[in-house]
Each structure stands twice: as structure tokens, then as C-alpha cells.
Homo-oligomer: A and B are copies of this chain.
Amino acid sequence: MSTRVPQGVSAEVFEDAKARMRAVVGRRWVIDEESQGLASYYDIYSPASEMTTAPSAAVAPANVEELQRVVVIAHELGIPLWTTSAGKNYAYGGPAPREAGMVVLDLKRMNRVLEVDTESAYAVVEPGVSYFQLYEHLQKNKIPLWIDCAAPGWGSVLGNASERGVGYTPYGDHWMMQCGLEVMLADGTLFRTGMGAMENSNTWNLFKYGYGPYLDGIFSQSNFGIITKMGIWLMPEPPGHMPFMITLPREDDLHMATDILRPLKINMVIPNGVLTPDLIWESATKVPRSKYYTGKGPMPDSARKKMAKDLDMGQWNVIAGLYGPQPIIDANWGVIRDAFAKIPGAKFYTGDDRPGDVSWEYRKKLMRGEPNLTEFNLMNWVGGGGHVNFSPISPTTGDDAVKQYEMIRSRAHEYGFDYMGEFAVGWREMHHIFMLMFNRTDEAETKRAYELFSLLIDEAAAEGYGEYRTNLHYMDHIAKTYGYNDDALWKLHRRIKRALDPKGILSPGKQGIWPLES
């Protein structure tokens, strides 16, 4: 009998639940402490012990019918189910649940590409479909559509979109490209959103809004239901495309670069999200830190300068792409070049420039929708596996970029860590991603990482910057920073949660939404 059980559930009820779920999905698809493989659901990258979020079991239904029967059992017995699918989500908590003892609901076996419409350019996928799988499906069938993937190619198309992740082509706002959901509620009810609510609809995956309230958004970054199918728009292969990188030699070039980018993005001169990784992020996929510095604390300037020179990198590196017929690419590239030429020392690279540059190669793949795993090379920077992403949103201005950069860098250095970050400019806002890398085998360093992250949340909030997504351990903390008018929004989230899942069995605590709080 397992020693670990969900909170508030007796060992007997839990054994009963597992037995009944095994009768639905088959013995091997209910994994617990006594089976092989439960550790694959642990979060072994966060700055906290993996046991604080270790599940008691995982259950993996093969299809919607099995899922429904599993959910009904969980609902009846009060078993908390934490949903995950393909991918690892390392920097935000892996597949682990919010709280130790919860049961992971793993949808990886529901992995059919249900439809691809070449003419209207969309696919319908189940939760377990990975970027690799969808890409291969299109390649194998010679369908001239591109996917837009997250950096980790093993990620779930549906899962990443529903967490509002972003990608690298002009279709990089994954949630915006989603069209049409099928969702299961905690009591097993199944419904379809938008036009899909019409029995024989021919526009479920063509028109997002349908008739009446537009619900899809409430099932993103949410624990209100389980998404079982999603339509996702795909980009027709363009007649041409041109990736580019502009290296900027000085740290304070960030200010001017950001102000240059704002109008280029708002006016869609640059159609995809513009990434501006710093020197360390963009070097860390190519070399380990130890090649340039083996001391304690953040890498000193002298070592940074040498690395920049050796690798021909900027302190900031502006990366984006152009897409379309050649005359349009040429016209836009002229505007972009003229704008960045104002930054002294800016160097311009396109397409086949920089042969053999590992980071440029995988960036180019991402910008043409070719999934890969190269960004995981970052893990070799310090070694020891620990990493967690701090991801505030800010206005796209030089002032904001520099303020955030200085705030985070100086705290990171104070706590003994490198600043490894990138800015991703969307349409009117920037995501700033600070990747906090630490040696998880060093207990003191891990503790410092945990504390630094908490401090950054509060300091960012004090300046009006909020995070768009976070690791399990900070979900409650960040929810509290969204406290306008006496926590009015989170009170509303909980009110909806109780209406849709009164027993609170679906992903309790996700994004700080605990069902039973008022």
C-alpha cells in the first residue's frame, strides 16, 4: 500500500480509487509508489525539494471516454487530479502537481492529430500531441503548413498554448492562434466552445468567438476544466523568409534597441516576436561557464568581454525574422537596418552568416517552425540542473527594459548568480525572461535561488511589473501581487472555480486558485 496519499483522502479510499481507475485504463497506466516510473513526474529542477510536490500516483487514460470515467471516479471520491500532457515544463515545475500527494492526470496517450485542413490552415489536436509529432505529420503528408513551436520540441501543442506560451514565427502568440476547444468539467460533462457547440458545425476551428460569451480564455492557465481537443491555426509556408540577428556591443544599448523595436513591432514591420537574449544566454548553448570563469559568484566583466569577443556575440543580440515575397522582405529589412544602424557597433547577420554557430542554427530552426531541443544546452552553463524562469511583463520602452535589467541583474549578482536573460517583444508588451540557473546539488545555493526569486516577485510588483506564468512554488505568491480592490479578481476566480468544480478536484492551487478559499 502506498504511503503517500492526497490530502484529506484516506489510504483505503485512495486504494479503491486506484483500483477503479486501473479497471478503466489498465494496470500499467496507473502508476504509484509501488510501480516503476513515478519519479518521472517529480520536479527535479525547482529551487525546492522535489518531495514538496511529489505526486502519490499518475493515471494516463487513452481517450476521452476513459478520461471521463477516471474523472467521474475522482469526482466521486474527492481525488485531486493535476493535469499534464506532453513535454516537461522544466522551468515552471515539470509535470509535478502543486502539492505533494495529488494525482497526476497524464494525457500523453491522447495524442492523435485529428484533422489538418490545408486550405484553411489549421489542425485539431489532442493534448498529447508534441511539436515533433505535429511537425512530422505535416512533413510526412507534404502539407505546406508551418507549426510554431516552443523551444523544447517535445512540448505539447495544446499544453503550451493553454499555458499561454509563446513561439518564434509570426504565429508565436499560441493562445491567439488557438481556435475551438473541447473541454471536460470536473463532473465529466463534455462541451465544445464557440462554433463547435453547433452539432454539425463547419467553422469550429475557423471562427474563435461563436455566439454568446466567449469562454475559451477561462480554460487557459486555469483549473476550471480539462481541455481534450484544440484547434490551432497553422501558418502557410511563406514564399520566402529571412532570419536576422543584430549584435549590440554595450549593455546600455538595450535602451535604444528597445525604443527602436517598439514602433517596428506595433507597425508589424517585424512580424514575429523579437528576442533579445543577453550575452550569457546566447553563449550558454555553445560553451560552459567554466571555460571562461571557474570562480564563485557572477562572471566578472573581463571574462564576459573575452567570451563576447571569442564567440562574436553582443552584450545583447536582437533576433527576429522576415517572411513573405522578396520585395516585401527587402522593404522591411531596409527599414530595420536603417533603424539599428544608429547604434554604434551594431553588426548585422542574416541567413547563412555565422556558419557553425550552434545558437544561431537552432534560433533559425525555431523561426521556421522546426522543433528541436538545442536550448537545453543552457543546462550545461553551471551544471547541477537547477533552473527556474522569472517572467515579468513590461511596456516596450528603453526605460522599462533598463530598469528591469538593472533591478534583476543587481539582485542576481548580490545573491551570487549570473544574469541570464532575454526580452521578447510581442505586439505592445515585452516578456522579460530571467533564467535563474543554480547547482541543485548545492543546498545553500538552492536556498539562495529560492529566496532571490521571491524577492524579485515583490520588487517587480512594487514597480508595477507582474509575471505572466510561474513555477509551482510561486503560484500563490504571484497571485497575491494581482490584488487590486481587495483581491477582487482572485475572489472571482474562486467563485467561478466553485461553480464549475465544487469539490475542487481539478488541479487545486493552480495559479493560486484554491477551490475552498472564499
Question: A175-B209, A202-B465 given as contacts; is B484 within 8 A of A495 (CB)?
Answer: no
In the complex, the count of this chain's copies comes to 2
A207 and B175 CA atoms in complex are apart in Å by: 13
User: A351 within 8 Å of B by Cβ?
Assistant: no
User: CB distance B211 to A482 under 8 Å?
Assistant: yes
Chain B residue at minimum C-beta to C-beta distance from A218: B213
Q: Which of chain B's residues have a CB closer than 8 A to the CB of A490?
A: 197, 212
- What's the nearest-Cβ distance from chain B to residue A28, in Å? 31
Q: Which of chain B's residues have a CB closer than 8 A to the CB of A203?
A: 393-395, 429, 464-466
B-contact bits for A456-488, CB 8 A (1 contact / 0 none): 000001111111111000000011011111001
User: CB distance B207 to A429 under 8 Å?
Assistant: yes
User: A82 within 8 Å of B by Cβ?
Assistant: no
User: A400 within 8 Å of B by Cβ?
Assistant: yes
User: A198 within 8 Å of B by Cβ?
Assistant: yes
Q: Which of chain B's residues have a CB closer than 8 A to the CB of A233?
A: 427-428
User: A190 within 8 Å of B by Cβ?
Assistant: yes
User: CB distance B493 to A164 under 8 Å?
Assistant: no
| Size class of the A contact interface (CB-based, 8 Å) | 35 or more
- What's the nearest-Cβ distance from chain B to residue A46, in Å? 18
User: A199 within 8 Å of B by Cβ?
Assistant: yes
Chain B residue at minimum C-beta to C-beta distance from A199: B484
- What's the nearest-Cβ distance from chain B to residue A365, in Å? 22
User: A19-54: which have CB < 8 Å to B?
Assistant: none
User: A343 within 8 Å of B by Cβ?
Assistant: no
B-contact bits for A319-335, CB 8 A (1 contact / 0 none): 00000010110111001
Q: Which of chain B's residues have a CB closer than 8 A to the CB of A119?
A: 262, 397
Which of B395, B470, B496, B512 contacts A496 (CB under 8 A)?
B496
User: A242 within 8 Å of B by Cβ?
Assistant: no
User: CB distance A202 to B395 under 8 Å?
Assistant: yes
17 additional A-B pairs beyond A325-B335, A495-B499, beta carbons within 8 Å, are: A120-B428, A189-B488, A190-B488, A191-B491, A198-B461, A198-B466, A198-B483, A198-B484, A201-B484, A202-B463, A211-B470, A212-B493, A213-B496, A213-B511, A233-B427, A236-B263, A498-B499
